[in-house]
Structure 1
């Protein structure tokens, strides 16, 4: 990367890419073309954006497998591991409950499905659907790598087979392997050391991909403006507004209130979470953003590494207040209003139940169609309603993912504060131009977390190996399950 570009803070690069993406999308629309015959600029934007997403999806399977195994192993020497895990799950559920209640309230107040301007001709059942039976069946791995294959035929009759991965199955496999490795004991130490080493390599590659985020932003946002424009957004204007109002309320009201109630500075929370929030907005992938989210939790919030390396990967696969609470709640009400179906108290309780319990169905990857169809099928609403909303889904997904990662960074900080293991000096420390606390910041030696060696290692650029004596001299700080330090000028 040119040295001049390296001197520009990453956050500034992303913001500039957002503006450039919108501008190029407007230019592409002015050049003409159609969905079947797009112009050269539209094709270029689409290629750039889809390539960035493909790279993120490629790195997700090994990231899930290695991160979950390492996160489980990281708790093996922690005396209160069960309590930390239980507290984490509890606060995941509490924030999901609050979020879905906000979503239901906004749906009833704004009434997005009434006079929406969307043509009923757009109603169609999506190819990807969710149901409780399918959700339970998907928990049973079909093979060790969680791979699935699908075959399709083009207009000429030629068959094409595509491989994909099932994130839920990968999570189940990783949990089983991680628990087994912990139970095996000393004999599993070489395997766990290999897993942590492999995770560092994967994280290094992921950071290279993340550095392409400004370029990916230009392509993704530019293609979204070209493909959907403001006309489509206008037809679903009330729906789009309802979703983003809900996301703003959760991110800038609910989360700050929770931070304040636990004695944490709201300003420090918002500025500290910003690096992960902006990348989540661009990448539309909680798993792709996970290394930066974990670095936020450790470096900015002072969460001990042994806990952050468990809570953040776990949250990246199950904590989805945007995708699994706000979005399905408002969408279900939209579909019901559009088709003239009256919802009762039982229906709203079912929506709440699905949002709190079923968020693992989204599995941390881009998109929330599975969660939406799971909600609609549970309530008994027509799945054809999903087709009405797909046009603006990429635009909504940006805000949903940003909200997801904001919560995924906050909950570990709250639990650590409640358990008196949070490094408050680091939490309140000033952030640098790159959005992170200075790696040389040592904190207050009297704080509980400052006595925790792993947290200090994560901040200082050293990385303890299995016996606590090794250092990472590769230039970028890389901890088990954490993000590399962005290259400095």
Structure 2
């Protein structure tokens, strides 16, 4: 029994991540351009890349991601219904939504402003060879009007099947409000949803215990296929984006949290380790949402009535990490193509990227599509995106870690302002730790 508690979840995830990176480097060295290198086993010749990289690593990582995504729709719907129907004053929902959306948009505007300032000071695009830009075919970004129209579902069941988070959020809020206004029938149904929420959170705990293995597979495949020669050629761009991401995640959020709540940022950052590591590994705010919800409610002390609203909404519209990439990339591409941007153009980039974050789904790589929308607004060539594709995957991982940290930070601020916050849980270093391990012996 003591062996089970020797290493916490965070340490196990870090070990899985480090082991995956090491194995990835090892396979990259072994293969070194020879994808057909084979392993002879009992007289059988087995291609190493097909067996491990495209086989074990790929399958293991995809199963892990699918398992997390499996929980997203039921978790968002059930927890948001529970949170909405538990509001004693239904009129407070508008205030809650206004605070949450306002804070998310403000932090996104701050993030892209920091990114553009750093890019202008450092000049990552000066001296870059434009010939390395290949053709980049991008899906047409939706207009802002269409984004707002698409928020409202015509078929909520179809929205759940497609994983359309904004539509699910709208339907869940309306359904929860109807339950709150339905008297006894609503109370009976609320008890069922509360039990469902407890069961789903237990399922989250079970999957969290499998995380180190999923993280290992994801890292092993990524670092086997990652081209570091591309990173070397774009070292300046990569360094600026990474530096701003780290600064925003550690400094900006800490300052905002301290100013608006008085909470200790070091405690907050320490308790965010698991969720940030999940975000880094999965590159998906949506896939990380179950872990973020668990962290916000069990470790940070935000009541479910607030967290069930702020976390799903944050995973959908809070894209500070993506905004940072868009800010630096816009300046970078302008410098590469020798285009001088005016102050009006800079303001347009800030406004467009901030509003575009509402329409940016929490899935890997979608930031590039939204970047095309930003570039088109200021007349920059979309083909410039091809310059940064090679390093975007690794930066995407860091962006997601920043995004989920921002979701939790805003949840704490809103929870504190609405008196839906447990200070004792926040201050307790062991809060939520007991839920990280599951005893399977009683299932026998």
Instruction: Give the match's secondary structure for 2:340.
Output: coil
Name the counterpart of 2:138: 126
Q: For residues 21 and 210 of structure 1, what CA distance do their matches in structure 2 show?
A: 17
Q: CA deviation at 1:351?
A: 1.8
Q: For residues 117 and 71 of structure 2, what CA distance do their matches in structure 1 show?
A: 38
Name the counterpart of 1:333: 331
Indicate which of 113, 119, 143 corresponds to 1:101: 113
Q: CA deviation at 1:328?
A: 1.6
TM-score (normalised: structure 2): 0.84
Asked whether 1:219 is paired with 2:230, we answer no
Whether the aligned pair in 1 keeps the contact of 2:82 and 2:305 (CA below 8 Å) is no
Indicate which of 168, 179, 183 corresponds to 2:166: 168
Asked whether 1:84 is paired with 2:96, we answer yes
Name the counterpart of 1:235: 233
Q: CA deviation at 1:354?
A: 2.6
Q: CA deviation at 1:193?
A: 3.6
The structure where helix makes up a greater share of residues is: 2
Name the counterpart of 2:375: 376
Name the counterpart of 2:345: 347
User: Can you list the C-alpha shifts for 1:175-207, whole angstroms capped at 9, x where unaligned?
Assistant: 443344444454334444444433444443344
Instruction: Give the match's secondary structure for 1:217.
Output: helix
Provide the aligned length of Structure 1 versus Structure 2: 425
Q: CA deviation at 1:345?
A: 1.8
Instruction: Give the match's secondary structure for 1:145.
Output: helix
Q: For residues 83 and 264 of structure 2, what CA distance do their matches in structure 1 show?
A: 28
Q: CA deviation at 1:420?
A: 5.0
Asked whether 1:41 is paired with 2:40, we answer no
Distance 1:5 1:420, change over 3 A: closer
Whether the aligned pair in 2 keeps the contact of 1:272 and 1:296 (CA below 8 Å) is yes
Q: For residues 47 and 416 of structure 1, what CA distance do their matches in structure 2 show?
A: 39
Q: Which runs of 5+ in 1 are unaligned?
A: 149-162, 440-475, 477-484
Name the counterpart of 1:299: 298
User: Can you list the C-alpha shifts for 1:317-366, whole angstroms capped at 9, x where unaligned?
Assistant: 2222112x212211222232233332222222122113333322223333
Q: For residues 118 and 224 of structure 1, what CA distance do their matches in structure 2 show?
A: 26
Q: CA deviation at 1:246?
A: 1.0
Q: CA deviation at 1:7?
A: 4.2
Whether the aligned pair in 1 keeps the contact of 2:72 and 2:289 (CA below 8 Å) is no
Distance 1:404 1:113, change over 3 A: same
Whether the aligned pair in 2 keeps the contact of 1:131 and 1:373 (CA below 8 Å) is no
Whether the aligned pair in 1 keeps the contact of 2:165 and 2:312 (CA below 8 Å) is no
Q: CA deviation at 1:268?
A: 1.3
Q: Which runs of 5+ in 2 are unaligned?
A: 37-48
Structure 2 matches for 1:362-373, cutoff 5 A? 362-367=360-365, 368-373=367-372
Distance 1:119 1:166, change over 3 A: farther
Whether the aligned pair in 2 keeps the contact of 1:129 and 1:370 (CA below 8 Å) is yes
Distance 1:14 1:143, change over 3 A: same
Asked whether 1:487 is paired with 2:438, we answer yes
Q: For residues 81 and 419 of structure 2, what CA distance do their matches in structure 1 show?
A: 26
Name the counterpart of 2:9: 10
